[in-house]
Every structure is written in C-alpha cells, then in structure tokens.
C-alpha cells in the first residue's frame, strides 16, 4: 500500500493527509479500531473530549506499538456551556481540560489541539485561543487549530492574536465542498480538514454519478471520494470500525482522478449540510 501524502501546516508540522476518525466509536471499541487502523498503516488519529473515547483511543495507540514520533494525534476542547470561558478563569479551564485529555490518552503531548466549536453567540473563542497559544509555545501541542469556524471567527482571531490557526476542521464532502471557506483558508495559510468526508455514508455513496466514476476505476465510491479529497489538497479523517473498510479507506493512492472525473464530482454538489450550521449552533 502506497504511502499517504502529508500536508505541511503553517508552523512546519506535517500532518498525514488521510487520517482515522473515531467519532461515535464507543470507548470500549475504540482501542481495537485504533489498533487496527495503525497496524493497517494509518499514522493520524483524530478524537475529541466529547467523543468520550480518549481512553480507548490511547489504549489502541499503546497496543499498536508504533513509535510515538511516527504518529499524529489530534484531540479537541469541548468548550461547552458548563464552564466560564472568559478571562483568566477560562484560560485556566482550557489548560485543565487539555491535561485531562492528555491523561486519558496516556500521552505527553498531542500533535494537534482544536477548539471544537466557535459558539459565536458567546464570543469566548478568542480568549480560549490565548490558552492555545500557551500550549503550542510550551510544546505540549505541536500545533493548534480550530474546528467548525467560519470566516468571521477566523478573522477575529487574526485581529486578536499573532498565531494563525494551523488547521480548520469542518464538514466537507462533494455534496458540500465549502469552496469559499477553502479559498479563505488558502489565502491565510490554514489547512482544511474534512469531518464526515464520506458524507456519513448516506446519499453520497449511492449517487449514480459517483458510482459510475468508481466503476470506471474499479474502485468503491468511498475510495473515489477520498481520492477527491487528496487531489483537492484536503485532509480527510474517515471513520469505520470494520477492519475491511479501514483497509479500503487507506487504499486510495494507486489511482488518479482525471479532469472528466473531477467535473462529474463537482456536479454532484447540493450545498446541503449534514450537521448543524456552526454559526447558530450552541449547547447547554
């Protein structure tokens, strides 16, 4: 199986362009899934505090036995409404949450730490970002970034901090390709990472146009979609707990989509999200 390409973040850290996500994987299944993924060849693992599977994820990392420096581990701050994220107390809360994630993962550092949601109606993300600056400066997070941020929130970070997020993880797939946001990222040196890169396995993977492209290449639709992400310069983190699909999702470097294929994929855009709009999403 070919080597997965990497994307160089704006601080020089390299992230594999194809990673393994564990959203909705129960903690007691995460260890087996993560171990299988690493043994298959994945070197990037993506989890989050709110997934409640950092313990299992850390166990899978340990069980796989790969050298720590070969792995790229991402987790995320669950900046929920249960804590006060303003002022020094908010920055201290970030550091406490980060320490808790490290402990659960059984790691001394993570390669990437993300603010999980902007919650723009509260405006606390700029204060939270100050603690992220400290985490990167201390080397406990090799890179820091955000998730689900829009142009307005990113612009505010530019105005209040000299540290540009290394990456923004957002919903992105051929039905919802986020052209404008990706262009904004490219302009400011921010890598784009896709959550639900396969559209959560719903209508996207049965789209007749994509089925035809897959048949042309003797591949699955999932492999075609992941290949589209790679050729588009997007970092993707597909999720599966099925060993055969874990292997299948990694096997996407042995073929190339041509201009006709890319035109077909571009034509399936619907502009519809699967998840909530981050600009209005909040929780208690």
Residues with catalytic roles? 51
> Exposure string (b/e) for 87-114, b if CB count within 10 Å is 16 or more?
eeebbebbeebbeebbebbebeebbbbb
| Contact residues for 136 (Cβ-Cβ < 8 A; gap 6+) | 11, 142, 143, 144, 163
Contact 230, 17 (CB under 8 A): yes
By residue count, the chain amounts to: 284
Contact 39, 14 (CB under 8 A): no
Which stretch of DSSP H or E encloses residue 77? strand 72-77
Tell me the C-alpha to C-alpha distance, in Å, between residue 211 and each of 223, 255, 261. Answer: 11, 16, 11
């Amino acid at each position: 199986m070919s080597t997965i390409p990497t994307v160089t973040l704006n601080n020089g850290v390299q992230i594999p362009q194809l990673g393994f996500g564990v959203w909705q994987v129960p903690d007691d299944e995460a260890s087996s899934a993560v171990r299988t993924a690493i043994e298959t060849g994945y070197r990037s693992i993506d989890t989050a505090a709110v997934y409640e599977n950092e313990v299992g994820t850390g166990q899978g990392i340990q069980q796989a036995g790969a050298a720590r420096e070969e792995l790229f581990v991402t987790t995320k701050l669950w900046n929920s409404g249960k804590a006060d994220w303003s002022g020094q107390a908010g920055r201290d809360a970030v550091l406490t949450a980060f320490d808790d994630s490290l402990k659960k993962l059984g790691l001394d550092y993570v390669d990437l730490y993300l603010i999980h949601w902007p919650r723009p109606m509260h405006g606390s993300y700029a204060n939270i970002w100050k603690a992220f600056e400290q985490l990167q400066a201390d080397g406990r997070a090799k890179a820091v970034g955000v998730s689900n941020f829009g142009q307005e929130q990113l612009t505010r970070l530019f105005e209040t901090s000299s540290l540009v997020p290394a990456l923004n993880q957002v919903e992105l797939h051929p039905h919802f390709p986020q052209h404008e946001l990706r262009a904004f990222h490219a302009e400011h040196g921010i890598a784009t990472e896709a959550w639900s890169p396969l559209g959560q396995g719903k209508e996207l993977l049965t789209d007749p146009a994509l089925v035809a492209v897959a048949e042309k290449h003797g591949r699955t639709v999932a492999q075609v979609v992941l290949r589209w992400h790679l050729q588009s310069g997007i970092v993707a983190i597909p999720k599966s707990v099925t060993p055969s699909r874990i292997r299948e999702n990694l096997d996407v470097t042995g073929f190339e989509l041509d201009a006709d294929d890319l035109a077909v994929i571009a034509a399936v855009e619907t502009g519809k999200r699967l998840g909530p709009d981050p600009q209005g999403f909040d929780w208690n």
